[in-house]
Structure 1
Amino acid sequence: MPPLSKKFTTALVGISVTTVIVGCTATGTGTNGASSPSASTASPSPSRSSADRGPYADGEYSVDGEYGTRGSSIGVTLTLQSGEVSAVDVTPHATDETSLGLQRRFAEAVPALVVGKDIDDVDLDRVAGNSHTPDGFNDALEKIKAEASERVTRS
């Protein structure tokens, strides 16, 4: 390979690696390596139309959200007022120390992401370094929406 071509290839590799590194750090990772709540999303779910939204009965709802292939779960207690999340508490269920640590960090970050938001606008993605635990939260959220809708139709 000619020297100029070798230098060009080396430069391209360097640019590619830099791009990957910048892309990884632009997700809100703090100085301690943990993702900040701002790195997460709590956005409208694109698959739901406005006709699929509420109404939801006000109240407190407690369910377990499941995720993963090994029966992982987390507990979610959520309070609704006029379709808005007014309080949320996430209870880790993991027994493995690594998973428990991830679930605890997730539980600490969630209130800042969802309290004060319309329940239909909450759809968590990656939170506090967790890529799978948000799936459990979103599963619990869907169960809560179903229960809150059912309470409206019963009253």
Structure 2
Amino acid sequence: MNISIRKKALAAGAAALLSTGLAACSGADNDTPGTPSSASVGPSASSSSASRAYRDGAYSANGEYGTQNSSIGVSVTLDGGVVTDVDVTPHATNETSRDYQERFADAVPDLVEGKSVDAVHLDRVAGSSGTPDGFNAAIDQIKEEAAA
């Protein structure tokens, strides 16, 4: 009887993982390269405290991502823990990558300005799925530097 319960639990867990994996993949083909899409601004998985205090000021960091030493520059101005200005600087030299980074950079201000820095965490933006990882890494560095 104990083996039967264990088998049912394993089957339920496998089904949950499969459905989560399918849900994660389901929107990937709907993104066209020129359009902003499925950006989420919410708590970052890496933020250790949602109610941190931050020093006001301008901060910059480079966020690395991917397997080919890709990076993107991020500069933000914080006021009361809120992003009041953001500038994203593409670093890609490859034409295709540069195009993704430029479209990403153009879309970011509308997505993060006016938001708490603790709530800024981007997913797929403007058809780019890798660049947000670099952006999020830079934001995490900035949060560490600005922490009061």
| TM-score range relative to shorter protein | 0.7 to 0.9
**Structure 1 match to 2:62:** 64
Among 137, 141, 144, the residue aligned to 1:143: 141
**Structure 2 vs 1, CA of residues 102 and 26 (structure 1 numbering), >3 Å: closer, same or farther?**
closer
Percent of aligned pairs with the same residue? 53
Gaps of 5+ in 2: 1-25
Q: Contact 2:86/2:109 (CA < 8 Å) preserved in 1?
A: yes
Tell whether the 8 Å contact from 2:86 to 2:113 is kept in structure 1 after alignment: yes
What is the match of residue 78 of structure 2? 80
TM-score scaled by structure 1? 0.72
Does 1:114 pair with 2:86?
A: no
- Partner SS state of residue 41, structure 1: coil
Q: Which residue of 1 aligns with 2:125?
A: 127
Q: Distance in 2 between matches of 1:108 and 1:89?
A: 9
| Mapped contact 2:50–2:118 kept (Cα < 8 A) | no
Amino acid corresponding to residue 82 of structure 1 in structure 2: G
CA-atom RMSD, angstroms? 2.2
Q: Kindly tell me: are residues 76 and 47 of structure 1, through their superposed partners in 2, closer, same or farther at Cα, counting changes over 3 Å?
A: closer
Alpha-carbon shift at residue 62 of structure 1 (Å): 1.0
Cα distance between partner residues in 2 of 1:55 and 1:147: 11
TM-score (norm 2): 0.75
> For 1:105-151, what per-residue CA distance to the aligned partner results, in whole angstroms no more than 9, with x for missing partners?
000000000000000001100000000000000000000000001xx
Instruction: Count residues in correspondence.
Output: 124
**Structure with greater Cα Rg:** 1
